[in-house]
A and B are shown apart, each in its own frame.
Chain A
Amino acid sequence: MAKKFNEQIDDYKDSIFAIIGFVNFFRFNDDTKTMDNNVKIAQGRRMRTSSANRVTPNNDVTPDFCIQSPDNKGIVGEVKKSFPEDNNLWLEDFKQLMSYDDDLANWMILSGKIDDHEIVLLPEQGRSRAIKKFFEEKKDKEISFVKNFAIVEFNRSDEANPYFFFRKEYGVLKYFDKVDKKLENGVKVPMLKLMPHYEKIKLYDSKPPLPYLLHLIWESVVMLQASSDERFRGMKRNGRLPINITTEQIVEVLHDDYSFKKLNTDNDNHQPRIPITSWVKEALDALITFKLATLVDAQKGEYTVYFKKFKNTLETFIELCTEHKLGIEPNEKQIELFGVQNSNK
């Protein structure tokens, strides 16, 4: 399970890198070599579907990214680092994309509506050909788009100077000609350029692996508060320092300093507050299970967390999650029980 958690953390980080890398194609001005703030972007924004929506009428949908040009053209899309092995399940992912095939509201403009938008799927390169084939087979049958649709594959290269590679696999970005041309033959974006963005965005609107979230909470909230106590420095390895904390405090710190809040053009009420309170509550409940916290007031979300100095904090949380079978999705628990290989990988 430890390996599985590490893979999940890797996938989670890669998805953030891919979102940042992709939206930056639209923000980066090749002439001035700076980011163009006139191009508006949003991650996980609540977009409103119309009554005519074929998948989910009059509802909120939350694309992984929304890109809005100054001339009121847009892109919405999804990053899919891991598509299920069973391609019978792929239709669900396409249905999600089809829910964006609508006259969506809540764009970053006073009226909330723009002239038109395109839909982009960003699958990992290893699956992109098969996904394209699947789409072409089902096109105009189970899968259909009225709006323009494109597939842009991405991949993290495993080299000494690693980079993210983006290449268009299917379709044309008709409103974004320059980016379309770039993606035609593929573009390598060094991770060294993406890393500074990731450093401020360690969470997006997908639930993070539990040990990853626990590590971030431990570092950015628990240790930060513990270190202001004069007993902190002298603490031995098995010492415990009680810290009073609320779920709201944690959400606030992580939202302000580690979410897409920094990159989103605006953070109005159409933007979700990431991390979601329930994720943080689940993390704090896990600490209770690990005997590293106690609940003080459930209604107020008050906890006492017992700070400890771990030698390897992430590894400790991975071990504790594995031991207590926490942070494992229900289907993974089944797989653990019966020793079947995970079908999602």
Chain B
Amino acid sequence: MKRKDTMIDYLGAFYSQKHTEETLQKGIDSLLGSHEKLNIHLFPVYIESIYFSNLKSNHPQFKLISENSGIFLFEFSFQIREFEQKKSISGRLFIVKNKEYDNIYTVLTLENSLFFSRGLYPYFIKHFPRVILTFITHKKLKNLLVDFRDRNNFKDMTIIRTTTYSRLGKKITPMVSWPELSLEKAFEWAEDENGWFQNLLFKIKKPQGPKVEISISRKGVIKANGYCQLLHEYFIAPVSKVVYENIKFFSRRARLDNPNRDINPLCIDFGYEKFAEVEENKKFIESFKTMKAASVSVMHGNPYIHLSLFDYFDGSSFDIWVLSSDKIVIVPQLKASFQSIKRLMNHIFDNYAEGDIKNFEVV
């Protein structure tokens, strides 16, 4: 965004520096500390190698401004329609290459919410499966937040607001107001309601520090007005690891990836008798009705489940079985990309239930 206030001078100077990861985070914290209305948006993301090369070279919307030891400064431009008129918007962002994990990056921008929510974020979402954000399970999100609170002694960390979805497909809100619910109680409530937090906004205040508001989404998107370094350490780094590990775990599962065309199934283990009642079969099958760009055929629905799923994003396909009351087995067929497996898992976790993703051992 082109701004003509004093902040633009600070930002201009900040952008022109050659940053390391440390100076970048420290610099952002310093800017956030000095400018009350400034926010950082950041999220970890997988970007396909060729696709990232395209961003760096001839891309109509991305222009590479500078690069220093894996920290890329880009200008991103897009158009929005306001009052039936097209409006061009551009702004800056950093894409930071992860030092440990191939093809994993952190996207950061100090531009305003309009730039982020109408331009940058939709761009990345739209380019699935070449660009993939993660999904943080309910359990993982809770653990990350509890760890962040306890290890930094943020005793007064309070939830301000959440966007919570029930797996029955509607938004839900608790009976009591948010500040009265501890982090643990809030997660317990969502679980009891068979729901998950799409977004969670909380505030923290250290005795000697400023009041900071942070929001974190299930897709790993963080918005905050402080603590960039801490957010990187407690959220971005572990979530980047999850993104990388998931990609590794979901990769090379297709039969065509295997020289002898063997199957390489995986399962969602609930650890309890989730499918003890026949009613559950119906709920599970129903949960696929909302899946976009897919064909879901019921090969058998009761008492056992056998579904055949075609993913119209890239032509991947899967057989999905429920043959024991505690798990769902997913058998990738001839073609099955890791992006498609991730999308399938994401759909089941959002619309049916969460469990532990494991290898299914074929005996």
Which residues of chain A are near B261, meaning CB under 8 Å? 200, 256-257, 262
Closest to B331 in A: A199
The residue from A33, A215, A227, A257 contacting B297, defined by CB atoms under 8 A apart: A215
- Enumerate A189-235 residues with CB–CB distance to B below 8 Å: 190-193, 195-196, 199-200, 215, 219-220, 223-224, 226-228, 232-233, 235
Quote the shortest CB–CB distance from B263 to chain A (angstroms): 5
**Are B331 and A224 in touch, CB under 8 angstroms?**
no
Closest to B335 in A: A224
**Are B263 and A219 in touch, CB under 8 angstroms?**
no
**Are A233 and B297 in touch, CB under 8 angstroms?**
no
Which residues of chain B are near A200, meaning CB under 8 Å? 261-263
Q: Complex formed: what's the CA distance from A228 to B337 in Å?
A: 13
With A196-B265, A199-B331, A315-B297 known as contacts, the answer to whether A161 contacts B325 (CB < 8 A) is yes
**Are B324 and A219 in touch, CB under 8 angstroms?**
no
Q: Complex formed: what's the CA distance from A223 to B310 in Å?
A: 9
With A199-B263, A313-B297 known as contacts, the answer to whether A227 contacts B308 (CB < 8 A) is no
Which residues of chain B are near A158, meaning CB under 8 Å? 303-304
**Are B333 and A220 in touch, CB under 8 angstroms?**
yes
Which residues of chain A are near B265, meaning CB under 8 Å? 196, 199
The residue from A10, A161, A235, A257 contacting B312, defined by CB atoms under 8 A apart: A235
**Are B297 and A162 in touch, CB under 8 angstroms?**
no
**Are A224 and B295 in touch, CB under 8 angstroms?**
no
Which interface residue of B278, B293, B333 has the most chain A CB atoms within 10 A? B333
**Are B308 and A313 in touch, CB under 8 angstroms?**
yes
Which residues of chain A are near B273, meaning CB under 8 Å? 160
- Enumerate B14-29 residues with CB–CB distance to A below 8 Å: none
How many residues belonging to A are interface residues under a CB distance threshold of 8 Å? 38
Closest to B362 in A: A196
> How many pairs of residues, A versus B, come closer than 8 Å at their CB atoms?
97
**Are A233 and B317 in touch, CB under 8 angstroms?**
no
**Are A196 and B295 in touch, CB under 8 angstroms?**
no
The residue from A161, A195, A219 contacting B321, defined by CB atoms under 8 A apart: A195
Which interface residue of A191, A196, A224, A262 has the most chain B CB atoms within 10 A? A196
With A257-B334, A313-B297 known as contacts, the answer to whether A190 contacts B310 (CB < 8 A) is no
Quote the shortest CB–CB distance from B170 to chain A (angstroms): 23
**Are A223 and B303 in touch, CB under 8 angstroms?**
no
Q: Complex formed: what's the CA distance from A153 to B303 in Å?
A: 21
**Are A161 and B323 in touch, CB under 8 angstroms?**
yes
- Enumerate A168-204 residues with CB–CB distance to B below 8 Å: 190-193, 195-196, 199-200
- Enumerate B300-344 residues with CB–CB distance to A below 8 Å: 300, 303-304, 306, 308, 310, 312-315, 317, 319, 321, 323-325, 329, 331, 333-335
With A199-B331, A257-B334, A312-B295 known as contacts, the answer to whether A227 contacts B315 (CB < 8 A) is yes
Which residues of chain B are near A220, meaning CB under 8 Å? 333-334
Determine whether B161 belongs to the interface, using a CB cutoff of 8 Å to chain A. no
Which residues of chain A are near B324, meaning CB under 8 Å? 160-161, 190, 192
**Are B295 and A313 in touch, CB under 8 angstroms?**
yes
Quote the shortest CB–CB distance from B265 to chain A (angstroms): 7
The residue from A9, A190, A193, A227 contacting B314, defined by CB atoms under 8 A apart: A227
**Are B276 and A160 in touch, CB under 8 angstroms?**
yes
Closest to A200 in B: B263
Quote the shortest CB–CB distance from A306 to chain B (angstroms): 15
Quote the shortest CB–CB distance from B108 to chain A (angstroms): 29
Q: Complex formed: what's the CA distance from A315 to B297 in Å?
A: 7
Mask: chain B, 266-285; 1 = CB below 8 Å from A; 0 = not: 00000001011010000000
**Are A193 and B295 in touch, CB under 8 angstroms?**
no
Determine whether B255 belongs to the interface, using a CB cutoff of 8 Å to chain A. yes
7 cross-chain pairs, A with B, having the tightest CB-CB distances, nearest first = A227-B315, A314-B297, A196-B362, A192-B323, A158-B303, A160-B325, A313-B295
Extra A-B contacts (7), CB below 8 Å, given A195-B331, A233-B312: A10-B300, A162-B303, A162-B304, A193-B363, A224-B315, A311-B295, A315-B297
